[in-house]
Amino acid sequence: MTDAAELRRRTQELLAAQPPATTGRLDFLRARFDAGLAWVHYPEGLGGLGAPRSLQAVVDAELEAAGAPDNDPRRIGIGLGMAAPTILQYGTEEQRRRFLRPLWTGEEVWCQLFSEPGAGSDLAALGTRAVRADGDGWVVDGQKVWTSSAHAARWAILIARTDPDVPKHRGITYFVCDMTDPGVEVRPLRQITGEAEFNEVFLTGVRIPDSHRLGETGDGWRVAQTTLNNERVAIGGMRLPREGGMIGPVARTWRERPELRTHDLHQRLLGLWVEAEVARLAGERLRQQLVAGQPGPEGAGMKLGFARLNQQISGLEVELLGAEGLLYDDWTMRRPELVDFTGREAGYRYLRSKGNSIEGGTSEVLLNIVAERVLGLPAEPRTDKDVAWKDLAR
């Protein structure tokens, strides 16, 4: 069995064969993947060694000490946190070998085509259709919305309705969609901050080969749960240093600007600092639980706390700065690939945090998940559970 000492030996061999100072970034990342040191808990040949997940920290520490490049995980977070675990669990061997390596190295960016204008919180009511085409494939028509990084993505994870004659949860199939294919149109969605980090995606006669289907036909809802559980863990369980995330700028301002301090603001800052530290430690505990298996509904609770805390912290920061906190006059149209919460002004952080309770599952939906799947409370009545999708009121 691979242990910490063996991983250190393999890491040192990688560093000796591919010195970070003289090896190109992409070449190093490819070599790291091929050595099984990308995500050590994955199977051999797929970037891992079948080792315990907890030992990833051993590899990461050795590489960081040597100044080795990382794969810019924030930029490719959807691929790493959502697409990869779904492909690993439900993909064929051919799909795993085709997609996982360039996904991990960042050569191919991924996005998520789930939400729709008429099926946001009620995702299972989605209306994008995939019908069998002549030969071995599907033709997809529909619209998706709130798609992060679609303007930079090569691939997308996509769920579409393949059977309208059964209840909504049972007629969905999960696909991998090539974002460069004819019929895929990406349009920017300008947000309250002025930038267009999100997109709406129109699919018109997009042909997807059946070899790009993940899981069985009609089993897409079950496959999607793997994606969604991992998404919530990725958002709510981000690894942060102490005073990392949005609490950092507020604490720094407090220390550097004593003239802004009041007793009331001090008490509120202390309370939020404690909550941020509790959230950080809870995230560490959640990652430890992942060592033992797949993420469960606990990730919903973490994501809920992350959204509420970010919004409260950003509100406190604006209040602390007074009139200065209201200054936000850069409405330049940007198309960022990732969100910069800490590198912008307080006004930006305040506005952007409003989306935290929507993205990755609305807080209202996540409260239901926590109530039913974590606390074991009775499920709310669902009158459409046994009604065919085509008969639902829309």
321 contacts 346 by C-beta, under 8 angstroms: yes
65: exposed, middle or buried (Cβ count in 10 Å: 0-12, 13-18, 19+): exposed
Q: Which of 62, 195, 200, 231 is catalytic?
A: 231
Q: Which residues are bridge partners to 116 per DSSP? A: 119
Q: How many residues in the chain?
A: 394
Residue 291 to residue 286: CA distance in whole angstroms: 9
Q: Per the structure block, which two tokens stand in for 82?
A: 């959502």
Is residue 200 annotated as part of the catalytic site, yes or no? Answer: no
Question: In angstroms, what is the C-alpha Rg of the chain?
Answer: 22
- Classified as helix, coil or strand, 178 is strand
Beta strands in the chain (DSSP E): 110-113, 129-132, 137-144, 155-161, 172-178, 184-189, 198-209, 213-214
Q: How far is CA 146 from CA 116, 150, 191, 217, 251, in A?
A: 8, 9, 10, 25, 32
Helices (H) and strands (E) in the chain, counts: 12, 8
Parallel/antiparallel/unpaired status of strands 172-178 and 213-214: antiparallel
Provide the phi-psi class of 296: left if phi over 0, else alpha when psi is between -120 and 50, else beta: beta
- The residues annotated as belonging to the active site are 231
